[in-house]
Chains A and B, each alone.
Chain A
Amino acid sequence: MVPPSAPISSTDAAKTVIGVADMAISSDPNATLITYALGSCIGVTVYDPQVHVGGMLHFMLPSAKLSQEKAENNPAMFGDTGIPLLFKKCYELGAQKERMIVCAAGGAEVMSDNGQFKIGSRNRTLIRKIFWKNNILISADDTGSTISRTMALSMADGSVTIRNKATERMIWPL
């Protein structure tokens, strides 16, 4: 059976599905934020364990310089507009930067990309640059290769799991 999960951003009682170029914030301890099919896109999760506020972003491309218009319509499309917005929305619900646990997944490449595009690796570089500039440490990540990943954040405890094919593993806490 195909898992009966809606692929578009949608919410049921416990699970919020984040689509491509989308984000969601939550303070509901019963919720799980999940995103499917991270390829060269990157999923970023943030979680403040003290106030149980967290969020997930699924961005596609590194820089909004490509199209200011598209970035204004949908900041979650780009890493350099989506990541600041993800943090800002969590701050509005009481989260604090110094308590945030940050995880990332995705950033894979297609085969035989001999440096012409490198969308996955440029997405990976972007997140490292943004977090380094803002004194934020990435607690755990699972990036690169040519695989597709599903990423889930449990709002009960901030745990982050990554699934590829039949293999699921927790990347935070270790």
Chain B
Amino acid sequence: MATLNNILSQCESLPVLPSTVARLTSMLNREDVEVSEIHEIVRTDDALSMTIMRYANSAQYGARNRVFNLQESLARLGRRHLMQIVLQQQVADLFLDAGEAYGMHRGALWRSAQGGALAAECIARDHGFEDPDLAFVCGLLRDVGKLVLDKHYGSEYMTLVSKHLNTQTSFIEAERAALGFDHAELGAELAVRWGLPVRIVAAIRFHHAPPPPDSDDDDLFSIVHAADMICLWAGLGLGHDGLQYRLADHVRLKLNLSRDVVEGFIAQTVAATKASEELVQGKQNEEKLA
């Protein structure tokens, strides 16, 4: 059985995190981030600049008749939205063509990443969590372990794990039985190699198995776990693993996840994901910017 570190070392080309993302995540815990610092990061990237202007000039941000240039767009969107837009755009390339190991069609893992980010932010705000941006980033990156499984096993992965699946076994348990670890643990190790902050690493590690309530608990882990389940219910990024996952009961209780609350999150997440996709893909306002 291959060990987790073996897989990471043997992988011919590990997914590479754009340096922009590392720089931005390091800014997350700073209150004093200036828009000008984000401008420094984005100004040399034409595609990213176009995306930012597309957002700033969209109806969603109240644009009507005039067209805003990059400088104006940055100021208009503000620190929080900028951070989210830049992060999404920067990791899109990692996720767009991935998901083969889980039998996903093209784009499904990317949709799941975006959905997880938006759901985590939404739950974080609803729950009064102190840092919704951090929840957003963790939701976005929670499945990076799947990128490594794609590269190492490709389409053979499902066959390998399916041998350990039955109606009582979650897909996570089957992964552990087949590999000795699951995609969340693998993702966390990749995140360590990427140099991401420890709290993000831990949120990736625990997104299917949040620590029990009496342990050293962090609401972030519960939020990212719940966001992952919201994506499953919403049908964002389902693969051959289907819905073979469990919502931890202590997370349900802690976040007061009633039926109505969950359905509200599902509806909000899908609406926000669709809006975000349209903007990122430039379906809106193309004429205005041409």
Contact = CB atoms under 8 A, between A and B. Distances in A.
A148 B270 contact: no
Interface stretch (B20-28, B131-139, B192-200, B245-253): B245-253
A61 to B, nearest CB: 5
Interface stretch (A38-46, A48-56, A83-91, A133-141): A38-46
A116 B235 contact: no
Contact of B97 (A2, A61, A118, A145): A2
B229 interface: yes
Contact of B267 (A41, A58, A67): A67
Contacts of B98: 2
B270 to A, nearest CB: 5
A2 B106 contact: yes
A153 interface: no
Contacts of A6: 106-107
Interface in B107-134: 107-108, 111
Contact of A146 (B158, B243, B258): B243
B244 A74 contact: no
Nearest to B259: A117
Contact of A165 (B100, B103, B167): B103
Nearest to B165: A146
Interface residues of A, number: 43
Interface string B255-270: 0011110111011001
Contact of B235 (A41, A111, A146, A165): A41
Contacts of B242: 39, 108, 145-148
Contact of B245 (A8, A38, A111): A111
A8 B277 CA distance: 9
Given A7-B111, A117-B259, A37 B238 contact: yes
B187 interface: no
Given A60-B235, A60-B270, A116-B259, A67 B247 contact: no
A33 to B, nearest CB: 15
Contacts of B237: 37
B233 A110 contact: yes
A77 B235 contact: no
B240 A165 contact: yes
B270 A21 contact: yes
Contact of A39 (B238, B258, B259, B263): B238
Given A7-B107, A39-B242, A118-B259, 4 more contacts: A7-B111, A73-B271, A77-B271, A116-B257
8 tightest A-B CB contacts, nearest first: A37-B238, A7-B107, A148-B242, A148-B238, A147-B242, A112-B246, A146-B243, A110-B243
Interface of B: 97-100, 103-108, 111, 158, 162, 167, 170, 229, 232-247, 249, 252, 257-260, 262-264, 266-267, 270-271, 274, 277
26 contacts: A2-B106, A4-B106, A5-B105, A8-B111, A20-B236, A21-B274, A36-B108, A37-B108, A39-B235, A39-B242, A61-B263, A61-B267, A66-B260, A67-B267, A77-B267, A110-B229, A110-B232, A110-B243, A112-B246, A116-B252, A116-B258, A116-B259, A117-B259, A146-B242, A146-B243, A148-B239
